């Protein structure tokens, strides 16, 4: 079995015409068939970090707009997929961790003012997670432990808080929507609930 390590750290700063001031990209890969893509057309003051260990993991981060953006994606295992998009005039902050096989996560953050924050954790296999944040000062912590779980959450407006955990297998997607100033704590435990 062939193992490779690719390490890339790039700090864009001042003089070159294609450089983006104050932006940093970091990619670390161990294993075979990994895909990491970081796209930042015109974004300033951004940080993007993809770390992959295993086989055929795929991580994609897109950052656009004038706000300060930070995204950290860590994938351990096989055939996990992450797609993260950050935009807007405000700040977005994302930490996303996958450990297992065939997990999928999609995050879209668009901040208009104060920071939107998201922390997503998937442990197990065949879990699916989707989060959309639009507005400002929204916070979400989503976690899945087990196999075949699904969750979708949308936060609009400002000041939403969501803490949602799934512990088990085959747990149903509740399709959470928050539209401003709402706080929710949800724990799903067991199988197929």
Domain residue extents for the chain: 43-147
Tens digit of pLDDT at every position of the chain (193 positions): 344 444 443 332 222 223 445 788 999 999 999 999 999 876 677 899 999 999 999 999 999 988 789 999 999 999 999 999 999 988 999 999 999 999 999 999 999 888 999 999 999 999 999 999 999 999 999 999 999 999 999 999 999 999 999 999 999 999 999 999 999 999 999 987 6
**Contact in structure between 59 and 75 (CB atoms under 8 Å):** yes
Residue 36 three-state SS: strand
């Amino acid at each position: 079995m062939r193992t490779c390590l690719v390490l890339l750290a790039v700090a864009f700063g001042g003089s070159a015409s294609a450089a983006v001031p104050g932006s940093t990209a970091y990619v670390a890969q161990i294993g075979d068939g990994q895909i990491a893509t970081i796209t930042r057309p015109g974004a300033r003051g951004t940080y993007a970090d993809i770390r992959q260990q295993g086989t055929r993991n795929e991580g994609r981060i897109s950052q656009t707009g004038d706000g300060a953006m930070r995204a950290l994606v860590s994938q351990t295992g096989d055939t996990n997929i992450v797609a993260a998009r950050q935009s807007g005039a405000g700040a977005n902050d994302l930490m996303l961790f996958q450990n297992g096989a065939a997990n999928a996560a999609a995050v879209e953050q668009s901040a208009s003012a104060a920071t939107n924050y998201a922390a997503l954790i998937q442990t197990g296999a065949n879990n699916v997670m989707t989060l959309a944040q639009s507005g400002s000062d929204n916070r979400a912590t989503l976690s899945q432990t087990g196999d075949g779980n699904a969750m979708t959450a949308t936060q609009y407006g400002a000041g939403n808080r969501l803490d949602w955990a799934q512990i088990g297998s085959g747990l149903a997607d509740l399709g959470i929507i928050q539209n401003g100033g709402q706080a929710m704590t949800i724990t799903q435990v067991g199988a197929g609930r």
